[in-house]
């Protein structure tokens, strides 16, 4: 029996893209039958890049979808992902010297204004303290 289970888990590997059919839907994910005959599970967090309130919003029973194998644990359980079928493209925006200079100028301006406001607050705080009398002291006549 152990050999049979080993042979079954060796037919898919982490990173493989496989066709799956939804067999059971639970609040936390869906159990799928892989094209190899094995069973796997897609956790609700692996269904979509967007927020998923209910698994049924994305999948329905007997629906066939492509999924990527993301993990096979020591017990042979297969974790699947619909999100990783097509990774989100990473968009890199080039930063020009002008952009960097502009940012540096904005930061310098912000720091100068911030220091000015702090100094103003401190001077107001200190002047209001010097005009106050200590509690319990008698007024001068």
In a domain, 106, yes or no: yes
Backbone angles phi, psi at 73, to 5 degrees: -85, 180
pTM for the model:
0.55
Q: Which residue has 């940012």 as its token pair?
A: 103
Same domain, 111 and 74: no
- What pLDDT, in 10s, does the model give residues 21-47? 999 999 999 999 999 999 999 999 999
DSSP, res 15: T
**pLDDT score recorded for residue 20:** 94
- Res 140: pLDDT: 58
* pLDDT of 3 over the 60 cut: no
Looking at the DSSP bridge assignments, the partners of residue 22 are 32
Residue 140 falls inside a structural domain: no
Asked if residue 99 and residue 77 are part of one domain, the reply reads no
What percent of the chain has pLDDT above 70?
79
Average pLDDT, the chain: 83
pLDDT score, position 103: 83
Of 91, 88, 90, 17, which Cα lies nearest the Cα of 49?
88
What is the structure's pLDDT at 134?
59
The answer to whether residue 137 is domain-embedded is no
- Residue 111's domain comprises 94-129
Q: How many domains does one find in the chain?
A: 2
Spatial contact of 41 and 75, defined as CB atoms under 8 Å apart: no
Please tell me the predicted confidence (pLDDT) of residue 46. 94
Q: Quick check: 9 pLDDT over 50?
A: no
């Amino acid at each position: 029996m152990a050999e049979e289970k080993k042979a079954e888990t060796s037919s898919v590997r982490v990173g493989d893209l496989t066709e799956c059919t939804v067999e059971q839907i639970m609040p936390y994910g869906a159990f799928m039958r892989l094209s190899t005959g094995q069973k796997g599970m897609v956790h609700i967090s692996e269904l979509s890049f967007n927020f998923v309130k209910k698994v049924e919003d994305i999948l329905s029973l007997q629906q066939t979808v492509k999924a990527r194998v993301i993990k096979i644990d020591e017990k042979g359980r297969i974790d699947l992902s619909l999100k990783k079928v097509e990774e989100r493209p990473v968009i890199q925006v080039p930063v020009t010297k002008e952009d960097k200079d502009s940012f540096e100028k904005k930061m310098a301006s912000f720091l100068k204004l911030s220091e000015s406001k702090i100094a103003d607050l401190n001077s107001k705080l200190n002047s209001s303290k010097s005009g106050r009398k200590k509690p319990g002291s008698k007024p001068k006549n």
